[in-house]
Structure 1
């Protein structure tokens, strides 16, 4: 079985995995990183959203071989130096989560949005289409705005 080396949350890892194995299963089953959630497996719900070289990706549809030599960040690696990321803090401050299942993916998508657009409008935020079965979208919007310094 081939092995793949990459960085996850600032840590160098090497895993043996079958070619084509989705990164989500490598993260969860081989590395014990459970923040990215399995929701649909077809890049629709986005509960697994993580970052690859700083940009949002869906590990459920990203083959492990595509991350060799690259940087993967999951919700577990978002905080820095014991300090929560501004988006994580806004989520807590505004009590965004209800059931919480989709929230790691929501947060990672919000961080990606703010990386690309530090002053998003409501329309920009609406383009981030992560599924939240509890319907916390108004609190998600408010948290993204707070993290951006807009509200």
Structure 2
């Protein structure tokens, strides 16, 4: 990502539970106090997913906490949020999701040039043995990095 990007949150569990086939950068439609709350990092998207409904992309189970400094107006933290993508990307995503086993999972949530963006992954669920293989690969890479660091000293 470029230098004008500030990562707000990453969904590490999604990368562990799913194989990420493709990634798409999406804009997200937010209300006024949601933007302020997002900039403070008050987001939670553990069980969130996206779905295509009536030709539009919607994010479900995506929680943005209420802005604590708002006195009069505050947003609904659990409302469905509309995602913004190009028509061609939406068609490509729709074709991929129609295949068996694919789902849309948010991976990263960040600010890019002052705008709130989301990386949406077209993912396929991992089986238990795949997760064990991921853990083993991560441990091997960690050991290699440790060896490399110690050899340079």
Which TM class, normalised by the smaller chain length? Answer: under 0.3
TM norm structure 2: 0.27
Higher-strand-fraction structure: 2
Considering only CA atoms, is the larger Rg found in Structure 1 or Structure 2?
2
TM norm structure 1: 0.27
